[in-house]
Structure 1
């Protein structure tokens, strides 16, 4: 399949997407070693970790913003056979992003991702075990890691409808029409050209990639990763929130350095702007002065 063919398929699926109709119900994936197998979504829920494994007393430690970048006792790590699945799944997602393009990857539904991977030899089909690993990660309650935010996705196969979103010029990102787009336009009108959209709509596949990539940089510590990035199914970027920063400030927009910019000062001074994760929040997440709460 050529890239142009993929784009045609991708946007036709995106335009017709409906959360209650899942391509996964009839899709079959070629396993690496077991022949055709049912999609993981057809099997009973698998949890990567037991919902009871996390010591509730440890959660108190996670409420302080000072330790978001350090491991603490009872943090949850990927271990055993899941380590190989972690790395192979992340590598496949990275190849998928390269093939479909950054902007399209942000909108990709799980079923479309699985089908696209199978269609491109440069990506390779997700194995049965990889699908089970990803499903287990999605189904595991985020509180196991110490992340106490609400689940925002109703199903692993939720999809973003094209009619719901609008691409923001010169950013590579999309926003949901309505409240999100109105909020961003208002912020831009108040602050001016110094402010820029740094992250908009994210589907579950993009959140999988970001979360796994963050965990990789944290020595496979999923709890540590969750203190700065929502696990798949828990990101408010999937239903309306977005990030902003100072134009030209690069990755520093996602650090405490952003709070020392004129853009943050003006943003914080706008009475109508709320931050999803304020200082000393009780959700087990670091302070994110760039993350605008919409929903």
Structure 2
């Protein structure tokens, strides 16, 4: 789409930097964008509630726009919301202190259902091939106390997590990008997955997981690597639960 190509070029230019403000050396959304953030967050949550948790993980951006246009419960995405979405997707995250590689070039990336496997009782999908092979090997080698906590996240799902985190941090993009990868930079969109200890809930997404017997067993497996180690070069917090596939 011509408009998206234009926005991409804009994102790579110095002019785009004017869309953010610096507070205490952190990069923050402008006041105008903050006003858009909350209704966008709510709209994405309504979309998730309507299509279901599992489908929300893999839905494309264009499909999300379709649901917004055609289902009043969700509501049409506004022009300002779409501009903010594209701004967050196409921005250069080094500005925010995130130095990871870009994994998704197309905001409209689609996930082919023939290429993925739904994991029973998890609400998540994993890519077939090496990701699924690694996951099954971990289950076999670690035991039935290990569970899948997050699999494939297409652009919309990662965007939703990113927006929710920015909102909870009052627009602080620097802190949010340390916790959640920007939507064009997540390895969940192409390969990686998260695991945790059964029954642990939210603690699986804290450094506490590194002290579990499940993590200890994983570390001894030669085929398992952690994507975001302590003091990693990407500028992301330590994520002992995040399994690196490629």
Task: Give the structure-2-normalised TM-score.
Answer: 0.93
The equivalences for 1:37-48 within 5 A come to 41=4, 43-45=6-8, 46-47=10-11
Does 2:176 match 1:234? no
The equivalences for 1:85-164 within 5 A come to 85-164=36-115
Count of paired positions? 242
Structure 1 runs not aligned, ≥5 long:
1-24, 26-38, 55-70
1:216 Cα deviation from its structure 2 partner: 1.3
Secondary structure (helix, strand or coil) at the match of 2:135 reads helix
1:44 Cα deviation from its structure 2 partner: 3.9
Contact 2:7 2:86 in 1 (8 A): no
Q: Aligned in 2, Cα 1:169/1:125: closer, same or farther, shift over 3 Å?
A: same
Could you say which structure has the larger radius of gyration? 1
Contact 2:142 2:214 in 1 (8 A): yes
Name the structure where helix makes up a greater proportion of residues. Answer: 2
Does 2:138 match 1:187? yes
CA distance in 2, matches of 1:51, 1:153: 23
Contact 1:49 1:140 in 2 (8 A): no
Counterpart pick for 1:201 among 133, 149, 152: 152
Show CA shifts across 1:32-86 (max 9, x none): xxxxxxx9537543439958859xxxxxxxxxxxxxxxx9842111112111111
The equivalences for 1:53-72 within 5 A come to 53=17
Contact 1:118 1:125 in 2 (8 A): yes
1:132 Cα deviation from its structure 2 partner: 1.1
Secondary structure (helix, strand or coil) at the match of 1:281 reads coil
Structure 2 match to 1:271: 222
Q: Aligned in 2, Cα 1:254/1:48: closer, same or farther, shift over 3 Å?
A: farther
Secondary structure (helix, strand or coil) at the match of 1:76 reads strand
| Structure 1, 228-237 or 215-224: larger mean CA deviation | 215-224
Structure 2 match to 1:82: 33
Q: Report the RMSD for the aligned CA atoms in angstroms.
A: 2.1
Name the structure where strand makes up a greater proportion of residues. Answer: 2
CA distance in 2, matches of 1:72, 1:251: 30
Contact 1:78 1:222 in 2 (8 A): yes
| Structure 1, 177-186 or 128-137: larger mean CA deviation | 128-137
1:144 Cα deviation from its structure 2 partner: 1.2
Secondary structure (helix, strand or coil) at the match of 2:131 reads helix
Contact 2:162 2:183 in 1 (8 A): yes
CA distance in 2, matches of 1:50, 1:275: 34
Secondary structure (helix, strand or coil) at the match of 1:81 reads helix
Q: Aligned in 2, Cα 1:48/1:99: closer, same or farther, shift over 3 Å?
A: farther
Structure 2 runs not aligned, ≥5 long:
none
